[in-house]
A and B are shown apart, each in its own frame.
Chain A
């Protein structure tokens, strides 16, 4: 377990020092929220009722950038090679990278939630559900994303192939997270907790698959 935290801590320390996500990805998220407002003609009723969907589409875009950053940290200095030679098990590296991605995504989501309250006039009817859904969905995105991120390692065109691979897989997460938020923000009468359980299943499944597959991929990373 110490190795998992070491890998995650390394990624987060690199981010603290370089501030790539904070200075480039976070502003991007805010810009997308503003663009949705402009595209939907600042009609507050529309914005408010579509908040869950717009929020999670934005998170998916942000996740692509965050995952690309997470992968490029390793490839820039052939750190995958070093991690592999250090004898750390593949699943521990995977867990560490996924946790770091999840932590960064959660920080961005916190700012975005503030953004939708201010810009879209959304209100949290069920804060516990919103936070739980955000945690589960973020773990799902981070685990699936970290797996696909490493699959794209070692190819010149990974920046274009990653969205094509990742977004169809994350479509159920988008559906489930949007529905859970629909309940939490009271934009539709659905059972948000059932959707949360689907998100948790997805996160668990991809945590297992990613842990197993990471070792195979690292062999030739």
Chain B
């Protein structure tokens, strides 16, 4: 078995080829996610009361706000990882960066989708151009769409790591500028100022929202772990492919040399006339 020759200080778990990126931890985490989503739905739809003003549509808050937090967390992870890529020149951090961006993009997309659906009954419009948070989220979303699109077209792994780190960081630097410009531009904002702080929410509503954060955090962690492992496997697959190609090339060269030694003159028709 391959594991016997591995370095002794780090015992290697035997991984069956094709068994996927799961491990016992992630399977437990995945199970917890499923249970968590089910319990969250019970709380969100059965146990909590409807809002006096917004009525039942307030139940959107249990997925909208956690999506927003998860989306921004993903981009923060990408930003930190991008700094580490440029600082440590590490492929490990590059894999973290792309995992954060992809998952951040998913949750930011969900935040925008739920926000649009929520906006229609409460603000009486699908889209509000003047809303600062909405526009900032949209711009961040587009920047990271570009980030992932860019990553797909750069062939070399380390060039891709460095350059896409720059793009991610420029995107982050841009956030305050977008925020400022939309705020001045609109000088009005529909978005409810944070509902959490002013004690307006009922205790059970607050508890359910907190539960939403926990459930989304678990889902986020599950996705991040799996996406990281996929990035890791992609890097390994490229390396394996490269090594296989090099081995093939070496074998071919050795065969050519053997051939040339065994049959001198065949490969050198001009000078080999003496044979």
Contact = CB atoms under 8 A, between A and B. Distances in A.
Given A164-B146, A168-B142, A209-B170, A202 B177 contact: yes
A151 B153 CA distance: 11
Contacts of B150: 151, 161, 164-165
Interface string A189-201: 0000011001001
Given A151-B166, A213-B166, A198 B145 contact: no
A161 B159 CA distance: 16
The B interface, classified by DSSP as helix, strand, loop or mixed, is helix
A216 interface: yes
Contacts of A195: 184
A164 B181 contact: no
The A interface, classified by DSSP as helix, strand, loop or mixed, is helix
Determine the interface band of chain A, counting residues with CB < 8 A from chain B.
20 to 34
B82 to A, nearest CB: 11
Interface in A171-188: 171-172, 175-176, 179
A8 interface: no
A32 interface: no
B41 interface: no
Contact of B184 (A164, A165, A194, A216): A194
B143 interface: yes
B178 interface: yes
Given A147-B166, A155-B153, A175-B182, 20 more contacts: A147-B170, A151-B166, A155-B155, A156-B153, A157-B153, A161-B149, A161-B153, A164-B146, A168-B146, A171-B178, A172-B180, A175-B181, A198-B181, A209-B170, A209-B173, A216-B86, A217-B163, A217-B166, A219-B162, A220-B159
Interface of B: 86, 139, 142-143, 145-146, 149-150, 153-156, 158-159, 162-163, 166-167, 170-171, 173-174, 177-178, 180-182, 184-185
